[in-house]
Structure 1
Amino acid sequence: MTQEEDRRTGRDESEDERADRMWGELIQEVRVAQTGVQILFGFLLTVVFTPKYAQLEHANQVLYLVTVVLGATATGALIGPVSLHRLVSGRSVKPQAVRWASRLTFVGLVLLLATMTSALLLVLRVATHDAYVPWLVAGVVTWYLLCWFVLPLWARHRYTTR
């Protein structure tokens, strides 16, 4: 195989170059997720200060608290890669930092899924009090699972040669 053919079928990059590229890609992905979780978390923090909060049933207040804690943990996991990068920058550990940041991002996405599920359940319970709420939430969660995990894993399995 010529060098030109090799370039078309793969990347000719060192471990450090690969880590730099992967870091840039990861940070772009984290920016999208961070924005969503931060807006949701910020909204959740305001709910407790509204008059409606005191009127919630105890079960819905507990669900609210669970949702806030999930939002806080998701925020922490999704901001973690930034802190990790800042604290290890210049220490020649970028490949390892990319792996840890990737794991934090994945955990953050799982926690974001849990936060959104919990928030949706809370909002729909308060808004409707209907028995179909768990079914509606299950449908939305299924959609998230398909978009966030099933499709990417299927594509990874289908289109990678490893």
Structure 2
Amino acid sequence: MAIRILSGDITEQRVDAIVNAANSSLMGGGGVDGAIHRAGGPAILAECQDLRRFQYGKGLPTGQAVATTAGRLEARWVIHTVGPVYSQEEDRSELLASCYRESLTLADRLGARSIAFPAVSAGVFGWPAESAAQIAVATVRGAATGIAEVRFVLFNADVLAAFQRAVR
């Protein structure tokens, strides 16, 4: 598997699947989540509403993943995963790792060969960049997956640098 670290806008990636750092409501929000919903258009929200109505009435649990159409994005699917909010009192590293594992497992089931990830939980959820990068890269490297290319597409320079260090 090839792992690439890129600076840029995840919504502009031409990959089979784009991972959305979603909130549990699946209804869009700020950051990556809002950008994906805006760029992908109303088809993504419509499928998310159906998922809430028929499958995840209380919201998507932290660490799990679910797929929808990618709407107007260059991808085939958006894989929504809910990262944990960082806590100094409780180790939630396994939940963060689960976001990456579950997203890759779902991508495999869909038949994806390429996937783009943001830095799950490293934005408004407060996860320190170095730790988020180490968990993400180690989890992806350790995953049994048929994905040929994994891209980490990062918007923030500090997070980008942390992921570059984690890959080395």
TM-score (norm 1): 0.27
Greater Rg over alpha carbons, structure: 1
TM-score (norm 2): 0.27
- The structure with higher relative contact order (CA 8 Å, sep 6+) is 2
Q: Which structure features the higher share of strand residues?
A: 2
Q: Which structure features the higher share of helix residues?
A: 1
